[in-house]
Each structure stands twice: as structure tokens, then as C-alpha cells.
């Protein structure tokens, strides 16, 4: 089992965050065998497909290069430009082959998980210069895996070449009696097909190496339980930090709620333990809305603010308890409390219109069922 520097076993699969950070640093799965066969195979295939045209253009180029030019003898200064033109002409002949092999360089990264461009991978890493780490790679499991791949490469390539070469020995011997041009053409074709057989052997090795490299990449990124816990803490936040955030959010919510208390029409109290502030505007609200509520110290603060702003306090213990339990701040009261709250608001409106010298309005008994489910407002 893989271990980290502290000796702890890496038993946990890498998280998406760890995989993403590895890719950002340029640490992605790579398969040299797959890259080799992609470039080599694409080059051989291009030669087979374009061989006739390339040969004809190469022959024309060679005739032109070997044809004497008297002007060069008379004007040696033109020799440098002539050589440059010949080199450009030769590069133009090889351009299709070079383009195919260049595009083939992207095949392996795409197969292994997509192209990945990272500037961080260009930063020098002192760990790569550590001789101890280099010795571990050479004589460790990775070195053994590379040795096995090298042996397998020799076996596969040798077997493919032998299987192709053995039946073609008679064909090679017959070329001795053929005209030079035919023999050259046949020998080139034979060599290209043998290279294709070699590419097929390398392809088999690449298909074996690619899954191994991907598995080995994930294995190196595996995590210990401690690393997993630390990452979860960083991702979700430490419990004490989350608790502090919740506390601040609650304080902000309570502060906003207390700022709305002066807008209330009535405060229904217990009278000491519960306090619920209600507001109702007949033209814009379907039903009274709870603007604030609290118990104990918070209830006392609501009552103090209400007294400072001369908001009516109505003692209705059963109604206060039900409102606190079943009504949410900023929402309308439950349907089953419509009648009881209407009775309270009517009493408050009577108090506002009351004048000294006239009988003071009295609040009749409010009947409220403190059990059962709440209904939804229509």
C-alpha cells in the first residue's frame, strides 16, 4: 500500500479537488509508449499514403539539385542563396509528412484525458533534482515497470518484424534480378510495410501502457485519512468557523427583525416569555404578517422597542404561543388564527379611537386551539 512522507497509508481515492489541483500543476497521466506509437504510426501511414507523390517530388528536387548551373560558377555570391532555395524546396516536400506527425503528437494527450496547458509545470521543481528520489524511481517499482516495458517492447517489435520478414525473404532475394528502379521501389514498399507491422506491435504496447499509466497516476494521488479530513475541513469550513458564521448571520437577522418592530400594529405577548409583532395593511395585505417574534430576552427587547414607539401590547398567552410556534417572520399568519388575530386588531383599533371619559374597551377572551396542524393561507 502506498505511503506518504509521514508513513501513513494512502487508502483513500483522490478527491475531485485533488485531481483538479494536480492538473493545474501539470501533473497529468502520460504514456510515452502511446505517444511514440502515435507519431511513429502516423508517419509510416503518411509515407504509405503519400509515398508515390513524395518520391516523384523528391526525384524532381534531386535532378534540380544535381543539375549544374553555370551562373553559380560565374557568380559564387549566388551559391548561398541557391543552397537556401534547395533547403526550402526539400522542406516543402517533407511538409505533409511533418504536418501529419505534428498533429499525431496530440493523439496521446487526448486519449489520456485531454489537452492540459499549465504554466506551473514550467516552474523548476527542486524535488526533481533530488538524487535519492531519482534512485527510488530507478530501483523502485517504477523502474521495474520500465524494465518490463522495455523487454516487452523488444519481444513485440522483434516478433512483428520476424513474422513479416520471414515470408518476404524470397521477395527480397528476387529483387537482385530486377531492374534498379523496380527493385528500389519494391524494397521501399517492403520496408514501409515492415515498419507498419512494427507500429502495430508498438500500438499493442501503447494500449497496455495507457491504462497502467492512468492507474499509476491515480495511485500516486491517493490520500491518507488525515489528508481527506483536512481537505473536507478546508472545503466545508472548520466547525468553529461555521458556528461563528451562523452566529453572525443570526445576529444580523435579529438586528433586521428588531428594526421592523416599530412598523408593527400590535405586539401579542405571553406576557413575559413570548412576544410576536404583527402588521396589517388592509389595502395591500391579504392577512396580517409577522414582522418579529422572540422568547425570553428577545421578547423583552421587542416589548421595550414597542413601548418606546407606543405600539400596543396585548396579553394573549395562548395566541402568543401559537403565533410563535406556527407563524414565520415575513409571512402571513396561519388561516386558523385569522379570527383570533382579527379580534386582537379590532381591540387595538378601538384603543386608538378611545377618548378619556368614555368606557375603555376591553379585550374579550380569545379562544385558540394550541394543538393540530396549521392551514395554509389561500
- For the segment 333-355, what is each residue's pLDDT rounded down to a tens digit? 888 888 888 888 888 888 887 77
- Span 72-81, mean pLDDT? 74
Q: Percent of the chain having pLDDT more than 90?
A: 0
Mean predicted lDDT score pLDDT of the chain: 79
**Residue 375's pLDDT band (boundaries 50, 70, 90)?**
very low
Residue with cell 379562544: 367
Of 75-84, 120-129, 155-164, the range with the highest mean pLDDT is 155-164
- pLDDT(161) > 60: yes
pLDDT tens column, 262-294: 888 888 888 778 999 999 887 788 888 888 898
- pLDDT(38) > 60: yes
**Residue 50's pLDDT band (boundaries 50, 70, 90)?**
confident
Residue with cell 398567552: 317
- pLDDT(175) > 50: yes
- Span 66-95, mean pLDDT? 78
- Write down the pTM of the prediction: 0.49
Phi, psi at 285, each rounded to 5°: -120, 140
**Residue 98's pLDDT band (boundaries 50, 70, 90)?**
confident
- Span 53-58, mean pLDDT? 78
pLDDT at 12: 80
Distance of alpha carbon 28 from alpha carbon 122, whole angstroms = 14
Phi, psi at 42, each rounded to 5°: -65, -40
pLDDT at 118: 64
Closest alpha carbon to 369 in 330, 329, 331, 334: 334
- Span 5-33, mean pLDDT? 78
Give the dihedral sign, CA 257/260/264/269: positive
pLDDT at 329: 86
Of 27-36, 111-120, 348-357, the range with the highest mean pLDDT is 27-36
State the angle between helix axes of 180-220 and 141-165 in degrees (0 to 180), rounded to the nearest 10: 160
- pLDDT(115) > 60: yes
Strand partners, 312: 266
Of 85-94, 122-131, 274-283, 352-361, least confident by mean pLDDT is 122-131
Strand partners, 246: none
pLDDT tens column, 288-328: 888 889 888 888 988 888 888 888 888 888 888 888 888 88
Distance of alpha carbon 242 from alpha carbon 232, whole angstroms = 13
Amino acid at each position: 500500500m502506498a505511503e506518504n512522507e509521514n508513513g501513513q497509508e494512502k487508502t483513500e481515492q483522490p478527491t475531485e479537488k485533488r485531481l483538479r489541483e494536480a492538473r493545474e500543476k501539470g501533473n497529468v497521466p502520460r504514456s510515452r509508449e502511446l505517444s511514440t506509437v502515435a507519431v511513429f504510426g502516423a508517419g509510416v501511414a503518411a509515407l504509405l499514403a503519400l509515398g508515390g507523390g513524395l518520391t516523384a517530388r523528391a526525384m524532381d528536387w534531386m535532378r534540380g539539385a544535381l543539375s549544374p548551373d553555370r551562373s553559380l560558377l560565374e557568380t559564387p555570391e549566388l551559391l548561398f542563396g541557391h543552397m537556401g532555395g534547395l533547403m526550402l524546396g526539400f522542406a516543402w516536400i517533407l511538409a505533409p509528412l511533418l504536418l501529419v506527425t505534428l498533429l499525431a503528437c496530440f493523439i496521446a494527450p487526448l486519449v489520456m484525458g485531454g489537452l492540459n496547458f499549465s504554466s506551473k509545470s514550467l516552474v523548476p521543481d527542486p524535488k526533481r533534482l533530488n538524487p535519492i528520489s531519482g534512485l527510488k524511481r530507478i530501483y523502485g517499482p517504477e523502474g521495474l515497470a520500465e524494465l518490463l516495458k522495455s523487454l516487452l517492447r523488444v519481444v513485440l517489435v522483434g516478433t512483428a518484424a520476424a513474422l513479416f520478414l520471414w515470408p518476404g525473404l524470397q521477395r527480397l532475394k528476387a529483387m537482385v534480378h530486377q531492374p534498379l528502379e523496380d527493385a528500389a521501389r519494391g524494397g521501399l514498399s517492403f520496408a514501409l510495410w515492415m515498419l507498419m507491422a512494427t507500429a502495430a506491435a508498438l500500438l499493442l504496447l501503447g494500449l497496455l501502457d495507457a491504462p497502467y499509466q492512468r492507474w499509476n497516476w491515480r495511485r500516486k494521488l491517493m490520500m491518507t485519512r488525515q489528508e481527506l479530513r483536512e481537505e473536507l475541513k478546508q472545503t466545508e469550513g472548520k466547525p468553529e468557523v461555521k458556528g461563528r458564521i451562523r452566529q453572525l448571520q443570526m445576529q444580523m437577522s435579529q438586528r433586521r427583525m428588531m428594526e421592523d418592530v416599530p412598523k408593527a400594529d400590535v405586539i401579542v405577548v405571553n406576557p413575559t416569555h413570548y412576544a410576536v409583532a404583527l402588521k396589517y395593511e388592509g389595502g395591500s395585505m391579504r392577512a396580517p404578517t409577522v414582522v418579529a417574534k422572540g422568547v425570553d430576552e428577545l421578547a423583552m427587547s421587542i416589548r421595550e422597542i414597542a413601548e418606546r414607539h407606543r405600539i400596543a401590547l396585548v396579553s394573549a398567552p395562548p395566541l402568543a404561543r401559537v403565533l410563535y410556534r406556527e407563524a414565520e417572520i415575513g409571512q402571513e399568519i396561519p388561516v386558523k388564527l385569522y379570527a383570533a388575530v382579527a379580534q386582537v386588531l379590532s381591540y387595538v383599533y378601538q384603543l386608538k379611537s378611545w377618548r378619556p371619559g368614555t368606557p375603555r374597551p376591553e379585550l374579550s377572551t380569545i379562544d385558540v386551539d394550541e394543538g393540530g396542524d396549521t392551514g395554509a393561507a389561500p
